[in-house]
Amino acid sequence: MTEYNSGDIVRVFYPYVPKVKNESSDVVGKGKNRYGLIVNAGNNKTVALPIMGITSHKGKTEIPGYVLRTDEVRVPSGVSYYKRSEGEVNIHGVIKTERIEFFDDDEISRKLTSIDLKGKIEVMERYKSTISIPYFKRTMDEDSPGHEKVMEKFEHSIIAEKLSFLTTDLGECKYEHLEDTLLKVNKIQSLGKSDTNKRIHFYAVELTGEENKDSFFYTIASMKQPKQVAREWGKPKAAVDWLKEDERFYNLQKNISKVFKEPPNPHPNKYKAFSLFRKNTLENAMER
């Protein structure tokens, strides 16, 4: 099975009429092969992939002075892919954030190219702006049922990528494919309090999956004291719940473009097994 990621661009036969309304025989099968943006690749168990359509309005979007419509985000410049018969092909047009259709694997092409994190943030912000307008909200509820859940997951994957949560040494964010996977804190290192907000504590952790097959190092910004961490972080949690332990997650939900000061760097030799950290922390708390 092909693995896709949020932000991938594919080719797909996009129906003119939303699938949920596509019951009349005179509209069934009517549509157009066009580019589409995947907005949630799921955890490889997703039945169908949610895709926003990309259109150039018959080339009008490339005419100087074209004014973006309320729901549109321009495809970032320089997005292209290689085609044997033509060489490098640039993708032009706009991403339509007011409609999401679901497609099975055999209905879409392989990944052609993708947009970067900045582009995904623009799509997310435009979607939020669009559905804040009652007309578009009603239209999306009718034409794209489940859009809010899809875009919630899209937002989570953007936040995870921005925070480098569950990111490999090669810089690939694996979060959206592990979102529901149970992970535990194998090792931990307390890094002290934030310079700018004394309520925030930094904890560098190694999160591991079942049988330690997956292992990721990450620094969590938490308002929890070490004693509370010792008591609450001992059991496995889904990756999405570990992401939500980070206070920056909630800051980015309010303002996805917010920039944070880098947390302290952990020392590679100062990690403790979580069981030892828990024992020492709770013993020290009892002595006070």
31 and 120, same domain (yes or no): yes
120 and 198, same domain (yes or no): no
138 and 36, same domain (yes or no): yes
Kindly state whether residue 253 falls inside one of the protein's structural domains.
yes
133 and 204, same domain (yes or no): no
Look at residue 140 in the predicted model and tell me its pLDDT.
Answer: 97
Look at residue 45 in the predicted model and tell me its pLDDT.
Answer: 54
Kindly state whether residue 170 falls inside one of the protein's structural domains.
no
Kindly state whether residue 54 falls inside one of the protein's structural domains.
yes
Look at residue 79 in the predicted model and tell me its pLDDT.
Answer: 98
224 and 281, same domain (yes or no): yes
158 and 184, same domain (yes or no): no
Count up the domains in the chain and report the number.
Answer: 2
Identify the CA nearest to 131 among candidates 117, 150, 104. 150
Q: Which of 131, 163, 195 is the last residue of a domain?
A: 163
Kindly state whether residue 174 falls inside one of the protein's structural domains.
no
Q: Which of 163, 189, 223 is the last residue of a domain?
A: 163
Look at residue 210 in the predicted model and tell me its pLDDT.
Answer: 79
Look at residue 208 in the predicted model and tell me its pLDDT.
Answer: 96
pTM here? Answer: 0.93
126 and 242, same domain (yes or no): no
Kindly state whether residue 121 falls inside one of the protein's structural domains.
yes
Kindly state whether residue 248 falls inside one of the protein's structural domains.
yes
How buried is residue 201: exposed, middle or buried, by Cβ count under 10 Å (0-12/13-18/19+)? buried
113 and 53, same domain (yes or no): yes
Beta bridge partners of 182: 238
185 and 88, same domain (yes or no): no
232 and 148, same domain (yes or no): no
Kindly state whether residue 92 falls inside one of the protein's structural domains.
yes
113 and 40, same domain (yes or no): yes
DSSP string covering 174-210, please? Answer: -HHHHTT-EEEEEEEEEEEE-SS-TT-EEEEEEEE-G
Kindly state whether residue 115 falls inside one of the protein's structural domains.
yes
User: Quick one: the chain helix, strand, coil %, rounded to 5?
Assistant: 30, 25, 40
Block means of pLDDT (10 residues each) for the chain, length 288 residues? Answer: 89 92 66 95 73 97 96 97 95 98 93 98 97 97 96 97 96 94 96 91 95 86 97 97 98 94 94 96 78
Contact 201, 142 (CB under 8 A): no
Look up residue 212 and give its DSSP letter. G
> 133-142 long-range contacts, Cβ below 8 Å, gap at least 24?
133/70, 136/70, 136/71, 136/98, 139/98, 139/99, 140/98, 140/99, 140/100, 142/18, 142/20, 142/21
Q: Which of 134, 163, 192 is the last residue of a domain?
A: 163
Q: How far apart are CA 34 and CA 14, in angstroms?
A: 7
Look at residue 24 in the predicted model and tell me its pLDDT.
Answer: 57
Residue 226 structural domain: 180-287
115 and 234, same domain (yes or no): no
